[in-house]
Amino acid sequence: MPIHATISGHAPAAGGRPAPGSAAPRGLTAVMCACVVLVVGMVAAINLAVPLLASSGLHPSASALIWIVDTYVVVFACLVIPGGAAGDRFGRKGVLLAGLVLFAGGALLSAVAPDMPLLLAGRAVTGVGAAAVLPNTLAVLLLAVPAERRGAAVATWASMTGIGGVVGNVGGGAVLTGGSWRWLFAAAVPVALLLAALTGRVAPVSARHDRRLDPLGAALLVAASVALLLGIVQGPEQGWGSPVVVAGFACSAVLFAVWTLVELRARQPLLDPRLLRVPALRSACLGMTAVFFGMFALFYVNASFLQYGKGYGVLRTGLGIVPLTVPIVVGARRSGHLARRIGLDATLALAFACVGGGLLGLSTSGADTSYAAYAGWLLATGAGVALALPTLSGAIAGSLPTAQAGVGAGLQATTREFGSALGVAVIGTVLTARFTAALPPDVRSAGHPHTVAQALAAAPADRAPAVVTAFTSAADAGLRVIGVAVLVAGALVLLQSRSAGRATR
């Protein structure tokens, strides 16, 4: 995230309560970083619960499993900019506290949900809370930290987005060893409430700004995104020519067009579409979307692959993804040195080659492959992510005037979460289609299963290995599709970047 700006596009007001130049309240940075880890970690942790959810009494379909993951991410992605704007208008501390309480309430609803509609409602409420939390943690920090320490404070804050993925996988795996997916949501409730209490104690109160929230723009963006994902997710189960799928894609196109017109006319738009006329900015946003598309597609399939394909427990599965995150945590700060030495385009080419190539390598790691080989491909993928994220963040920030640094931060947050949601939707769709096609005919005809849990429940015990083999081959196919998509997107990013470079000469 760019330094010295909030996601909503406003720097902290000098009129806040803390005296200028005074030290930040003790423990403030730690509390704000813990809030970031909570909301980002939930994005990663839920993937570990997919096998438990699939075999639960809710009996979710394959598409419902994807929505359990994506509902939170889509709402989070589309409302993170309004969340920052709400903090500007109503006070950052108050909106942050409200976000933490909403997060806890949504998690509680998810934990006790007796059916799918209430579970999805809980996930949506949790996403609204996360969107209020993330931008305002940074805004509160920038308000309270003295100018000479802001760079270090924001660098620490930004690193929490990577650490959140590690904590989500490891912590989520530990919680889920209790045997129920409900424990994951239940555990988030006291954590969120504790952070709300600590925030109320240490966070300063900021001045308010008269900024429009653009609720129409936010609603249209959420609706258009949901319609697009509806078309993608429902395709394998209902058919690509079914009325639901066709209507989803058609509504998405119409809603995105209406959103664009509304934003072009708005005095203070949620996100000005005219910004994407800048080639360098457009290519960097595409790159950010592609990286998170690949990474969260991997998160989604990895949890089930390690549990079903390799027989790992849920904690070992959470630990199994850690090699991916090691380069991100350790090497992200060093990528800038490499970019200065070999250039932006060469760094991006190497980054996308590592991400796409790593995903293709993982697609060759069947159930019989050693974990060491699997971890090696995870390290390669993580190295690509570590190179890409700071480079793309810098490209987004450098494409906009300093006065619009916060807009750049909002673009990063939106493209990152939207790429995550799209990656889960696409790999879930490919996985379902390939899995059902690969099932033995006798298993496929026994109840027409669309998930591994359904197939294992319907098939005789001696057919379980065939079900697992069908799943691992489908997982490999899904990772190949995602890997190729990332490589193609990377090529488009490089073409755009080079054309932008020629245009500025």
Per-residue b or e along 245-259, where b marks 16 or more CB atoms closer than 10 Å to that residue's CB? beebbebbeebbeeb
What does pLDDT average to over the chain? Answer: 84
Dist CA 149 CA 154 (whole Å): 9
Q: Are 96 and 137 in contact (CB under 8 A)?
A: yes
Give residue 501's pLDDT band: very low, low, confident or very high (50, 70, 90): low
| Residue 313 DSSP label | -
pLDDT at residue 475, rounded to an integer: 92
Give residue 105's pLDDT band: very low, low, confident or very high (50, 70, 90): very high
**Domain assignments of the chain as residue spans, ordered by start:** 2-6+25-208, 215-267, 277-505
Q: Greater confidence, 94 or 206? A: 94
Lowest mean pLDDT among 37-51, 234-248, 301-315, 394-408: 394-408
Q: Is the pLDDT of residue 437 over 60?
A: yes
Give residue 291's pLDDT band: very low, low, confident or very high (50, 70, 90): very high
pLDDT, tens digit (0-9, with 9 covering 90-100), for 150-189: 667 766 776 777 678 888 888 999 999 988 999 999 999 9
Burial class (CB in 10 A: 0-12, 13-18, 19+), 382: buried
Q: Greater confidence, 484 or 81? A: 484
Q: Is the pLDDT of residue 329 over 80?
A: no
Tokens of 415: 């493209």
Q: Is the pLDDT of residue 10 over 60?
A: no
Kindly state the average pLDDT of the residues 211-234: 85
Q: Which residues contact 454 (CB under 8 A, 6 or more apart)?
A: 54, 59, 447
Q: Which CATH class, in words, describes the domain spanning 2-6+25-208?
A: mainly alpha
- CATH topology for the 277-505 domain: Growth Hormone; Chain: A; (1.20.1250)
Q: Is the pLDDT of residue 388 over 50?
A: yes
Nearest CA-CA partner of 450 in 28, 17, 143, 65: 65
What pTM value is reported for the model?
A: 0.83
Dist CA 491 CA 363 (whole Å): 21
Q: Greater confidence, 31 or 210? A: 31
pLDDT at residue 233, rounded to an integer: 84
Q: Is the pLDDT of residue 264 over 70?
A: yes
pLDDT at residue 139, rounded to an integer: 81
pLDDT at residue 356, rounded to an integer: 96
Q: Greater confidence, 212 or 94? A: 94
Dist CA 5 CA 8 (whole Å): 8
Tokens of 186: 């239940």
pLDDT at residue 491, rounded to an integer: 94
Burial class (CB in 10 A: 0-12, 13-18, 19+), 210: exposed
Q: Greater confidence, 406 or 338? A: 338
pLDDT at residue 16, rounded to an integer: 44
Q: Is the pLDDT of residue 8 over 70?
A: no
Kindly state the average pLDDT of the residues 245-254: 94
Which of 22-26, 176-180, 253-257 has the largest mean confidence? 253-257
